[in-house]
């Protein structure tokens, strides 16, 4: 399962990872910056996601749109931001690799001279519109903001969503984002992976030619907030333009790659992923009191959370859903999973792992995974050990982890109900604050 690669660190601190695969005449370029919304502070949120947009608007030596020349050369490209990292990628014909490297290096080293007030205002408006489309005007769209705000205190770096608070986005000024860029978007806080039809010595030569002259930026200290615990259940409700009420329940869980993280991934599959899962069978198939149900272990760098969500079928109450969810969690904690459930979970984990490695680049792919391990673990050679985390899960360890982390009432329960139908919320719920 391990992917062959070489790792080199340039004089300015940029890690360069190279994987050779000559099956197709393409090369993937993946550049990760170890900065996400958790590197922001209260009152200054949304900066990392805003830069995801700004970095496609041109740099000093290519002061216009980033997509056109790369697509004209036959490439595909995109980027994304989450709480823990920002990534950009291109998949190019081998002959166009230098174009991608030149453009990536130019926006790493020379973005600020081309960052004008007009570009900044334009992209801030784009982000505000994205927030309206994806959160404010989408059914149940504000639920993630409510859940994160309730799970984490206001000064915790996971308290806000990646898109940021609307007042912060309106208040931010160009000098603020310039300072944020200078602090985080530089070689010493980045990892470059090249994968595909390229020789290792050629890849390193090109990386040095295009990136090594960019100055290393300031040292970036890890974000290490105080541990967060919930001492009791917090029940909230939010009125939305929806037809059916939906229940969200979340618990604090271990961080990405920590002990118990893999167990909870498999537990979420047992509980609510797929039509054979326990909650789907009881809520949707047998009782027909829910239209859908899902569960996930949301693994993050400094702490995770398991969330279960279920939408009530017409004529049924969220309290009915909650009762069965609690029962099934308690049953899993008491009896553990069956052997069939364990086998299915391991196969699903392995197939998802293999699916991510089918391509050399893009979202997922070998270059993306090399960067993930390098960024979060400083160890790109983690493929086999990552998969082994799931192979090592036993019925007893999964049972014990479920009992420890989610078989209790230290949780957040959010009822999203149709407007003016607050009686549909779980009893004892308070109105949620949504900014």
Percentage of residues of the chain with pLDDT beyond 70: 100
Which is higher by pLDDT, 288 or 2?
288
Q: What is the pLDDT of residues 66-115, one digit of tens each?
A: 999 999 999 999 999 999 999 999 999 999 999 999 999 999 999 999 99
How many residues in total does the chain contain?
Answer: 435
Q: Does residue 422 surpass a pLDDT of 80?
A: yes
The pLDDT tens digits for 199-221 are: 999 999 999 999 999 999 999 99
Q: Which residues pair with 8 in a beta bridge?
A: 16
Please answer whether residues 156 and 261 qualify as being in contact, where contact means their C-beta atoms are separated by less than 8 angstroms: no
* 1: pLDDT strictly greater than 80: no
User: What pLDDT does 2 receive?
Assistant: 74
Predicted TM-score (pTM) of this structure: 0.96
Confidence of residue 434 (pLDDT cuts 50, 70, 90): confident
Same fold, 6-211 and 234-431: yes
Residue range 143-157: average pLDDT? 97
Q: Give the closest residue to 38 by CA, choosing from 86, 83, 80.
A: 83
A 10 A CB-CB count for 399 gives: 19
pLDDT tens, position by position, 259-269: 999 999 999 99
Would you place residue 356 in the very low, low, confident or very high pLDDT band (cuts 50, 70, 90)?
confident
Q: Taking Cα atoms as reference points, which of 188, 182, 164, 206 lies closest to residue 375?
A: 188
Domain residue spans of the chain: 6-211, 234-431
Q: What is the mean pLDDT of the chain?
A: 96
Architecture of the 6-211 domain: 2-Layer Sandwich (3.30)
Share of the chain above pLDDT 90, in %: 96
283-314 core/surface letters (b: 16 or more CB in 10 A; e: else) = bbeeeebbeebbbbbbbbbbbbbbbbbbbbbe
Query: Class of the 234-431 domain?
Result: alpha beta
């Amino acid at each position: 399962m391990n992917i062959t690669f070489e790792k080199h660190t340039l004089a300015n601190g940029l890690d360069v990872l190279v994987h050779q695969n000559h099956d197709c005449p393409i090369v993937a370029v993946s550049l990760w910056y170890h900065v996400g919304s958790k590197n922001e502070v209260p009152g200054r949120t949304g900066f990392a996601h805003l830069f995801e947009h700004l970095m496609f608007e041109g740099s000093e030596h290519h002061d216009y749109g980033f997509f056109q020349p790369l697509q004209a050369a036959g490439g595909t490209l995109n980027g994304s931001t989450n709480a823990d990292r920002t990534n950009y990628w291109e998949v190019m014909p081998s002959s166009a690799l230098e174009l991608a490297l030149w453009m990536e290096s130019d926006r790493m080293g020379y973005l600020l001279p081309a960052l004008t007030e007009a570009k900044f205002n334009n992209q801030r408006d784009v982000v505000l519109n994205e927030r309206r489309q994806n959160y404010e005007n989408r059914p149940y769209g504000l639920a993630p903001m409510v859940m994160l705000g309730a799970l984490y205190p206001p000064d915790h770096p996971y308290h806000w969503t990646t898109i940021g608070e609307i007042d912060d986005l309106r208040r931010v000024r160009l000098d603020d984002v310039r300072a944020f860029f200078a602090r985080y978007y530089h070689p010493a806080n980045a990892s470059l992976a090249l994968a595909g039809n390229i020789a290792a010595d050629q890849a390193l030569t090109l990386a040095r030619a295009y990136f090594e002259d960019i100055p290393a930026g300031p040292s970036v200290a890890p974000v290490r907030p105080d541990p967060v615990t919930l001492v009791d259940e917090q029940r909230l409700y939010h009125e939305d333009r929806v037809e059916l009420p939906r229940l969200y329940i979340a618990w604090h869980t271990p961080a990405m790659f920590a002990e118990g993280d893999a167990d909870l991934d498999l537990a979420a599959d047992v509980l609510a992923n797929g039509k054979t899962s326990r909650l789907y069978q009881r809520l949707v198939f047998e009782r027909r009191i829910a239209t859908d149900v899902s569960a996930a272990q949301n693994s993050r760098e400094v702490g995770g959370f398991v969330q279960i969500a279920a939408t009530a079928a017409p004529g049924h109450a969220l309290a009915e859903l909650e009762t069965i969810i609690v029962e099934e969690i308690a049953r899993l904690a008491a009896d553990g999973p069956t052997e069939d459930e364990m086998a299915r979970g391991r196969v699903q984990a392995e197939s998802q792992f293999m699916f991510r490695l089918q391509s050399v680049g893009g979202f997922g792919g070998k270059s993306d995974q090399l960067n993930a391990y390098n960024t979060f673990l400083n160890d790109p050679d983690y493929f086999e050990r990552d998969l082994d985390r799931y192979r090592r899960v036993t019925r007893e360890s999964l049972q014990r982890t479920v009992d420890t982390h989610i078989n209790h009432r230290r949780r957040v329960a959010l009822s999203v109900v149709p407007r003016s139908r607050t009686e549909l919320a779980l009893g004892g719920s308070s109105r949620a604050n949504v900014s």
